Amino acid sequence: MQQVMFVFHTSAVPVRPSPTALPPVLLLAAFSRTAPWCSFLPKFSIHIETKYEDNKGSNGNIFVGEPKEEETEVCFVDIAYDEIPERHYKDSEDLRYFKSEKTKRGVLKEGWIDSQEPIMCSYKLVTVKFEVWGLQTRVEQFVHKVIRDVLLLGHRQAFAWMFCYNIIGLLDPG
């Protein structure tokens, strides 16, 4: 008989937006909630809420009813110019030099956020709880950093890889 030491459970609730509201960018969800939980560490939890909006990160009140701003640190992620660990770097995913042959979109130059059209902002509200005295602050800060790094790499790849597939026409109502 096999013994299970711990169970890691994650759940996500995606909501699909109207295709006419989206620019021609691949999005899997306009809103989702992810809440992993681990039975081995019952006082450890991660809650990630995601919302997408057609703006440049200007909505400071997107998560109405969530933690107050003094409890929330805003972290802006630039998929083209934020540094990534060298072990994850790939020339084909460097958005400062990448240009899609199919759509002729790309090379994201310095200040691309202010000049790029269309643009979609992914807002993430990440709540980490590790209620173990003496370790709480360090573990929570570490998990926040790891999640930020994963999101940076994931969004860089989503931008670079979406041009590998013929999906642009699926989201373009015109």
Q: Which of residues 154 and 72 earns the better pLDDT score?
A: 154
Domains of the chain: total: 1
Q: Which of residues 138 and 58 earns the better pLDDT score?
A: 138
| pLDDT tens digits for range 61-93 | 788 776 565 577 888 899 999 999 899 999 888
Supply the pLDDT for residue 152: 93
CA dist 8 and 46 (Å) reads 12
Interval 105-145: pLDDT, tens: 788 899 988 888 878 888 998 988 888 889 899 999 999 99
Domain range for 110: 8-17+26-132+154-168
**CATH number, domain at 108?**
3.30.530.20
User: What is the chain's Cα-based Rg?
Assistant: 18
* Phi, psi angle pair for 64, to nearest 5°: -65, 135
Residue 143 lies in a domain: no
Rounded Cα gap, residues 141 and 158, in angstroms:
26
- Is residue 72 one of the residues assigned to a domain? yes
Is 116 part of any domain?
yes
Q: Are 26 and 40 in contact (CB under 8 A)?
A: no
Mean of the per-residue pLDDT values for the chain? 75
| Mean pLDDT confidence for 157-162 | 83
> CA angle 164-167-173, nearest 5°?
145
Residue with tokens 């169970």: 7
8 A C-beta contact, residue 33 and residue 63: no
**114 lies in some domain:** yes
Residue 65 domain flag: yes
What pLDDT does residue 10 have? 52
